[in-house]
Amino acid sequence: MQLFFREMSQIANSEGLSVIVLSDSAGAFAITIVCDEPMTQQLLIRFHHLPGHRLMLPEVLTRMLFSLTGTGHTAYETMTYDVADGQYKTVLKACDKDVNIPIRISDAILLNVFSMIPMYIDEELFRKQRSFYTPHTSGLVIPINTISLERLKTELQKAIAEENYRLASSIHEEIQKRNMEKRD
């Protein structure tokens, strides 16, 4: 299933973190990706077409690759196929070759933004991770399995301090699940 970039919102009081929304072609369902400050800055450079952005390394390397191979953006794609350790597992694929190179999902989004290399996701994973998409909403759903272990521990302490025991229980279960997976 193909994913389409819809929007990016900065998270208040989060030291530069943002949330990226990717949806299905109809725009009915979406997944959210938490993005660190350096990637947020890289995306903002492209969205605002700041001077010199076409001379930056990702754009230059992509143009060179397309020139050397005589191909365009349709010769490549990114595929997100799993979630592990709080991260979406994604690869950059050469469509006509059996080449799959791991890439962070945020880098796959950046690649899509400036080069139009399409982004895909396993349909079952999308169904598991998705939520209804409402453009420009103030409350975005972030699946707990895509939050870093460090952030989960911080949020657990916060939930306990706020006496939100239902949330604390859910976070604790996710932490325990990840710890069990590491042992296996």
**Residue 129 pLDDT > 70, yes or no?**
yes
**Residue 82 pLDDT > 80, yes or no?**
yes
Say if residue 53 is in the same domain as residue 130: yes
Say if residue 112 is in the same domain as residue 166: no
C-alpha to C-alpha distance for 153 and 130, rounded to whole angstroms:
24
**Residue 21 pLDDT > 80, yes or no?**
yes
**Residue 184 pLDDT > 70, yes or no?**
no
Segments forming the whole domain that contains residue 178: 148-184
Asked if 17 and 10 count as a contact pair (C-beta separation under 8 A), the reply is yes
Say if residue 119 is in the same domain as residue 172: no
The two tokens of residue 53 are 């952005």
C-alpha to C-alpha distance for 65 and 7, rounded to whole angstroms:
28
Say if residue 30 is in the same domain as residue 115: yes
For residues 55-61, average pLDDT? 93
Q: Does an H or E element contain 105, and which?
A: helix 105-115
| Dihedral over Cα of 33, 82, 123, 175: its sign | negative
Say if residue 62 is in the same domain as residue 124: yes
Say if residue 133 is in the same domain as residue 181: no
> How much is the pLDDT for 89?
97
For residues 73-100, average pLDDT? 92
Say if residue 96 is in the same domain as residue 184: no
**Residue 181 pLDDT > 80, yes or no?**
no
Say if residue 79 is in the same domain as residue 152: no
